[in-house]
Structure 1
Amino acid sequence: MSNNLIVGFSGNISRPSSTKRFVESVTEALAKQAGLKHEVFDIEDLGTSLTAARSVADLDPAARRVIRTIINAEALVIGSPTYKGSYTGLFKHVIDLLDPSDLRGKPIVLTATGGGDRHSLVVEHQLRPLFAFFEAFVTPTAIYASGRDFTDGAPSPAILNRVNQALGEASLLLSARSLSAAIAAE
């Protein structure tokens, strides 16, 4: 079941967040390219029921709606700020609530932000294996950006090139998924 949305989810644990702004811009660009609507969430949108939840059923109704929207998305743009070489703990807790089949075959663009180059491997060593477990279709191009990759909130040309490359890959995955669904419906 799909809700014809491209959904962004950011693991930021405070607002305002440069990570969420980056996830929003990539999500909006993918949705525009795919001709779909978009919605973006972060940890704050899951509210206080998140920390005690051991399953999706333990979440309050608003948080369960966020999780359902993520699961039913056509594609996801996932992002997290990098802390000590990894994604945030509450981000991982959200992902731990999902069933292993919830993201199977879903196109995903990975993004991360951090304070410097030391964190750049977070997308390859932390995020990519996490979503491989779920058998999601993660784009080959992931995007890591540090603070110096932005000027007045706008990404540098190098980051924009990576974003465009990942968007092209995600569009191919969306097309293949749509074609597969059409064939299965026949």
Structure 2
Amino acid sequence: MTAPLTVVAVVGSPQSPSRTAALARLILDTLAGHTAIDARVIELHTLGPELPATTDRESAGGAVEEALRAVEGADLVIAATPVFRGSYPGLFKHFFDLVGQYSLAAKPVLLAATGGTERHALVIEHALRPLFGFLQAWTAPAGIYLGSGDFDGTTILNPEVYERIEMAAADVVPVAHALASVRATGRATGSAGPVARPA
């Protein structure tokens, strides 16, 4: 029997409730329809002043260290952020700056973002994908961007969004299971080093 995927969604919104958190939870619900998952949502603003005050990993403690370890130990990461002036907020970047240098290597990451208008839609390709490419993660081919017109408050209304998320889930679940299996085999045999990136 295949073990559940450990999925951690990191939400970069500065407050709750938020459209970005609603999108992340919809993605989790969709993934759960494809495979068994053990899901967690980390809303960065809930880490309070401790996160911006953490200048390096050695100084991380308490909730920040626990959140970082959760991301590093996940089988699949959902990186969900609002867009401000064409890019992700600084707190979102700061969090991933603290993640271990190779902890996301060959790990699947599903990219998601929300913004005021469709003018920000390319944030997936121009900002998020390069960030996680630097971390050597495997980013799912389909990113998910929603503008304010896709929502009523935090309720997602656009039916096309559900189709895009279904497509993204179908792409990422087999890869996440395959890479999780490779990592589990490596741990069992005592093998070290990054797993091969999927084609």
Query: TM-score, normalising length from structure 2?
Result: 0.85
1:31 positional shift: 4.0
Cα contact 1:112–1:145 (8 A) shared by 2: yes
- What is the root-mean-square deviation of aligned Cα atoms in Å? 2.0
Between the two proteins, the alignment pairs up a number of residues equal to: 185
Three-state SS of the structure 2 residue aligned to 1:128 is helix
The percentage of aligned residue pairs carrying the same residue is 32
2: CA distance between counterparts of 1:135 and 1:31?
Answer: 26
- Is the alpha carbon distance of 1:45 and 1:70 closer, same or farther for their aligned partners in structure 2, counting shifts above 3 Å? farther
- Is the alpha carbon distance of 1:183 and 1:63 closer, same or farther for their aligned partners in structure 2, counting shifts above 3 Å? closer
Three-state SS of the structure 2 residue aligned to 1:101 is coil
Report the residue type matching 2:179 in the other structure.
R
Between 156-165 and 78-87, the greater mean CA deviation after superposition: 156-165
Three-state SS of the structure 1 residue aligned to 2:136 is coil
Match of 1:162 in 2: 164
Report the residue type matching 1:112 in the other structure.
A
Three-state SS of the structure 1 residue aligned to 2:39 is strand
- Is the alpha carbon distance of 1:84 and 1:175 closer, same or farther for their aligned partners in structure 2, counting shifts above 3 Å? same
Three-state SS of the structure 2 residue aligned to 1:170 is helix
Match of 1:33 in 2: 34
The aligned runs of 1:1-186 (5 Å cut-off) are 4-151=5-152, 153-181=155-183, 184=186, 185=188
Three-state SS of the structure 2 residue aligned to 1:33 is coil
Three-state SS of the structure 2 residue aligned to 1:50 is helix
1:52 positional shift: 1.7
2: CA distance between counterparts of 1:45 and 1:85?
Answer: 24
Between 54-63 and 158-167, the greater mean CA deviation after superposition: 54-63
Between 43-52 and 83-92, the greater mean CA deviation after superposition: 43-52
1: CA distance between counterparts of 2:122 and 2:170?
Answer: 22
2: CA distance between counterparts of 1:22 and 1:13?
Answer: 15
Cα contact 2:30–2:165 (8 A) shared by 1: no
Report the residue type matching 2:77 in the other structure.
L
Unaligned runs of 5+ in 1: none
1:99 positional shift: 2.3
Q: Show structure 1 runs of 4+ deviating over 2 A.
A: 31-34, 178-186
Between 30-39 and 106-115, the greater mean CA deviation after superposition: 30-39
1:182 positional shift: 5.4
- Is the alpha carbon distance of 1:57 and 1:33 closer, same or farther for their aligned partners in structure 2, counting shifts above 3 Å? farther
2: CA distance between counterparts of 1:47 and 1:60?
Answer: 13
